[in-house]
Amino acid sequence: MRSSSNSGLVYSTEGGRMCPACRQPVSACACKAKAVIAGDGVVRVSRQTKGRGGKSVTVVKGLALDAAALALLGKQLRTACGSGGTVKDGVIEIQGEHCDLVMETLTKHGHHPKRAGG
């Protein structure tokens, strides 16, 4: 069996996600390795109901922002729509059907959103 320098613990139930560079929990990372930006730069706004008991959610994908900026933008979008939501795995979810309002708000913030889906 070959040993690789990239192999190692990825997740621990004790500490959560592990930093690939210093092999410490991300919350106690010593190297503060820059997080990989997950977005491709094409901002897509869509409405989803799958797996949510028939309730609709407005989903924003493709934002090329780091975690802190994404969380701030998510907060601004939730405030503009007057509803709840979350930011997880590089995707902003806003409760309810707010596609038009989200696209308008993203345009005001300098992004160029596209409507995805139906």
Residue 77 near residue 85 (C-beta atoms within 8 A): yes
Residues 100 and 52 in one domain: yes
For residue 67, the enclosing domain spans: 44-115
Instruction: Please report which residue ranges of 31-98 form alpha helices under DSSP H.
Output: 67-81
d(C-alpha 97, C-alpha 92), whole Å: 13
Average pLDDT over residues 33-53: 75
- What does the pLDDT look like over 15-39, one tens digit per residue? 667 677 777 776 677 676 555 555 5
Average pLDDT over residues 80-96: 91
- pLDDT for residue 1: 47
Kindly report which listed range (35-39, 40-44, 86-90, 107-111) carries the lowest average pLDDT score. Answer: 35-39
Average pLDDT over residues 3-13: 59
Residues 53 and 111 in one domain: yes
Number of compact structural domains in the chain:
2
Strands 91-95 and 57-61: antiparallel
Residues 26 and 71 in one domain: no
